[in-house]
Amino acid sequence: MYEITRDEGQQNYKKESMVQYERQLEELRKEKQDYVQKIDLLQHSIRVLEEKKSEFCYSTGGHTWVHDREYGLYGETFTYCEMCKKEG
């Protein structure tokens, strides 16, 4: 009859543990990828909705452009619509 020595038992335990860690890592990587895809979809939906909002603003009387300057010595100028906040 074959007996497992202490060293062989530790080796088997180590191999099984490494396999388990790899499975857990793979599950977490898959979950992360699912979240990344969901974030991409949300970003796309936001862009589409912002564009629709801007188009609605334009089609119902046009944009009301505001020209502004940041405070400070080198204040940058920027233009945006007062109603829909579209940058011009």
**Res 36: pLDDT:** 98
Is 52 within a domain? yes
| pLDDT at residue 3 greater than cutoff 90 | no
Give the integer Cα–Cα distance in Å for 62 and 87. 14
Please say whether the beta carbons of 34 and 41 come within 8 A: no
What global pTM score does this model have? 0.69
The range of the structural domain enclosing residue 35 comes to 6-62
Q: How far apart are CA 83 and CA 70, in angstroms?
A: 19
What separation in angstroms does the CA of 12 have from each of 5, 8, 24? 11, 6, 19
DSSP code string of 27-40? HHHHHHHHHHHHHH
Over residues 62-75, the pLDDT tens digits come to 999 999 999 888 88
The answer, yes or no, to whether residue 46 has pLDDT greater than 80, is yes
Which residue, chain included where needed, has tokens 């969901």? 38
Query: What is the tally of structural domains in the chain?
Result: 1
Indicate whether 12 belongs to any domain.
Answer: yes
Confidence of residue 9 (pLDDT cuts 50, 70, 90): confident
Domain assignment present for 85: no
- Per-residue model confidence (pLDDT) at position 10: 87
